[in-house]
Amino acid sequence: MILASMLQYGAMPVPYAVLWSAEQGGMHVAHCKHIDRLALCDIDRRGEGKPVFGKPHMGRQRQLIVSDLCDLCARPLKGRTKVSLSHAREVISGEEGMAVMQVEPMVHKDCARVCVEHCPSLKRDIKGGTLFVRQVLRHRHQVALLTAAAVEEFTGARRNGVAGHAKIEILRWKDRGLGWLVESGNG
């Protein structure tokens, strides 16, 4: 499924959160409207230059996670099968028990098919055996606050209370394989 509004690089669909080469080198601290606080931000030149697969644009990454949108098509995930394509492993998460913490936005099942077929980063993970395919049943988001030293490393300015990436905490899921993605059904 490739939507008319989705950007492509040649014949390859480009996920909404992907950083483009024209956006590199412009990281700064600014107000992020998606989380209503100061955050690390990239300049916004989506579609200019070449896509840098495997590297997310800070603002678009937070937008997708906080608003529960698909990484590929940027449409709502609500009411659809949600899929995590990540190399994140299970961790113990306080009173919730086991959880998966990841910075990769989720995708619809049909969009996940497109992603594993085209994405160079995911193809490397598949080849290396490090990709986990999960059907997400319950999740919530978090936003990481960075240390002043981390902000300085990225921007040259030392600031406290600055947000970085958003994270998804997957609380309930079913482990799936690549074969499950090609099965017909709710996407």
pLDDT at 37: 96
Phi and psi, residue 17, nearest 5°: -80, -10
pLDDT at 96: 73
Sign of the CA dihedral running 121, 133, 185, 60: negative
Average pLDDT of span 143-171? 94
Asked if residue 3 has pLDDT above 60, the reply is no
Asked if residue 186 has pLDDT above 70, the reply is no
Asked if residue 184 has pLDDT above 70, the reply is no
pTM over 0.85: yes
Asked if residue 90 has pLDDT above 90, the reply is no
* Better-scored residue on pLDDT, 152 or 12: 152
Task: Tell me the three-class secondary structure of 136-166, residue by residue.
Answer: EEEEEEEEEEECHHHHHHHHCCCCCCEEEEE
* 43 neighbors 23 (Cβ within 8 angstroms): yes
What is 63-119 written as a DSSP string? HHHHTTB-TTT--B-TTS-EEEEE-PPEEE-GGG-EEEEESSPPEEHHHHHHHHHH-
Q: 52-61, 86-95, 98-107, 123-132: lowest mean pLDDT where?
A: 86-95
Local structure of residue 29 (DSSP, 8 states) = E
Question: Amino acid letter at 135?
Answer: Q
Asked if residue 4 has pLDDT above 50, the reply is no
pLDDT at 110: 93
